[in-house]
A and B are shown apart, each in its own frame.
Chain A
Amino acid sequence: MNALVVAADATEKIGDPALNITIFGAFVLVTLVVVFRASRNNKTAADYYAAGRSFTGPQNGTAIAGDYLSAASFLGICGAIALNGYDGFLYSIGFLVAWLVALLLVAELLRNTGRFTMADVLSFRLKERPVRMVAALSTLAVVFFYLLAQMAGAGGLVALLLGIEGTAAQGVVIAVVGALMILYVLVGGMKGTTWVQIIKAVLLIVGAGVMTLWVLAKYGFSLSDVIQGAVDTAGEGGEALVGPGKQYGATAMSQLNFLSLALALVLGTAGLPHVLMRFYTVPSAKEARRSVVWAIWLIGIFYLFTLVLGYGAGALVGPDKIKAAPGGQNSAAPLLAYELGGTVLLALISAIAFATILAVVAGLTITAATSFAHDIYASVIKKGQVRPDGEVRVARITVVAIGVLAIVGGIFANGQNVAFLVALAFAVAASANLPTILCSLFWKRFNTSGALWSMWGGLISCLVLITFSPVVSGKVDPKTGDSLSMIKDTGVDFHLISLENPGLITIPLAFVLGIVGTLISKEKSSPERYAEMEVRSLTGAGSEKAVVH
Chain B
Amino acid sequence: MTDTTGGSIETDYQRVQRSDEFQDLKRRFRRFVFPMTALFLVWYFVYVLLADYAHDFMATKVWGNITVGLLLGLGQFVSTFAITMVYARWANNRQDPVAERLRLHIEQGVVDGGSDPTSGPTGGDAA
Chain A contact residues, CB within 8 Å of chain B: 86, 89-90, 93-94, 96-97, 99-101, 103-105, 108, 113-115, 120-121, 123-124, 222-225, 227-228, 231, 242-245, 248-249, 255, 258-259, 262, 266, 285-286, 289-290, 292-293, 296-297, 300, 303-304, 526-529, 531-532, 534-536, 538-545
Contact = CB atoms under 8 A, between A and B. Distances in A.
Given A86-B70, A93-B76, A124-B126, A100 B64 contact: no
Contact of A101 (B11, B25, B37): B37
Given A225-B64, A266-B41, A528-B3, 16 more contacts: A89-B73, A97-B76, A99-B84, A100-B80, A100-B84, A105-B37, A124-B127, A231-B65, A242-B61, A243-B59, A245-B55, A249-B55, A293-B85, A297-B81, A531-B16, A544-B123
A542 B124 contact: yes
A300 B81 contact: yes
Residue with the highest number of chain A CB atoms closer than 10 Å, among B64, B77, B122: B77
B77 A100 contact: no
Nearest to A258: B52
22 contacts: A86-B69, A94-B44, A100-B83, A105-B33, A115-B124, A115-B127, A123-B127, A225-B64, A242-B59, A243-B67, A244-B58, A244-B59, A259-B52, A262-B48, A266-B41, A292-B84, A297-B84, A528-B6, A531-B16, A539-B16, A541-B106, A542-B121
Contacts, number: 184
Interface of B: 3-4, 6, 11, 13-14, 16-17, 22, 25-26, 29, 33, 36-37, 40-41, 44-45, 47-49, 51-53, 55-56, 58-59, 61, 63-67, 69-70, 73, 76-77, 80-81, 83-85, 87-88, 91-92, 96, 99-100, 102-103, 106-107, 121-124, 126-127
Residue with the highest number of chain B CB atoms closer than 10 Å, among A121, A303, A544: A544
Contacts of B11: 528, 531-532
Given A224-B64, A289-B88, A528 B25 contact: no
Contacts of B14: 527-528, 531
Contacts of A108: 91
B4 A222 contact: no
A541 B104 CA distance: 7
Contacts of B69: 86, 243-244
B81 A224 contact: no
A450 B52 CA distance: 34
A103 B51 contact: no
A53 B5 CA distance: 30
Contact of B99 (A114, A528, A538): A538
Contacts of B6: 528
Nearest to A93: B76
B4 A244 contact: no
Chain B binding surface, main DSSP class? helix
A286 B93 CA distance: 11
Contacts of A222: 64
A542 B107 contact: yes
B26 A293 contact: no
B84 A293 contact: yes
Contacts of B77: 93, 96, 300, 303-304
Residue with the highest number of chain A CB atoms closer than 10 Å, among B85, B121, B126: B126
Contacts of B33: 104-105
A529 B17 CA distance: 11
A231 B67 CA distance: 14
Given A104-B33, A293-B84, A538 B22 contact: yes
Q: Which 10 A-B pairs have the closest CB atoms?
A: A243-B59, A224-B64, A541-B106, A227-B65, A544-B124, A532-B13, A245-B55, A531-B17, A542-B121, A531-B14
Given A97-B76, A527-B14, A532-B121, A242 B65 contact: yes
Given A300-B77, A541-B103, A255 B53 contact: yes
Contacts of A539: 16, 22, 25, 99-100, 102-103, 106
A249 to B, nearest CB: 6
Residue with the highest number of chain B CB atoms closer than 10 Å, among A104, A243, A290: A243
A296 B84 CA distance: 8
A540 B48 contact: no
B38 to A, nearest CB: 11
A266 B51 contact: no
Contacts of B66: 223-224, 227
Contacts of B59: 242-245
Given A300-B77, A528-B4, A289 B107 contact: no
Nearest to A244: B51
Nearest to A534: B17
Nearest to B32: A104
Nearest to B62: A224
A108 B49 CA distance: 31
Contacts of B65: 223-225, 227-228, 231, 242
A103 B84 contact: yes
A289 B80 contact: no
Nearest to A108: B91
Contacts of A258: 48, 52
Given A104-B33, A536-B13, A96 B76 contact: yes
B13 A528 contact: yes
Contacts of A540: 99-100, 103
B52 A244 contact: yes
Contacts of B48: 90, 94, 258-259, 262
Given A296-B84, A297-B81, A300-B80, A532 B70 contact: no
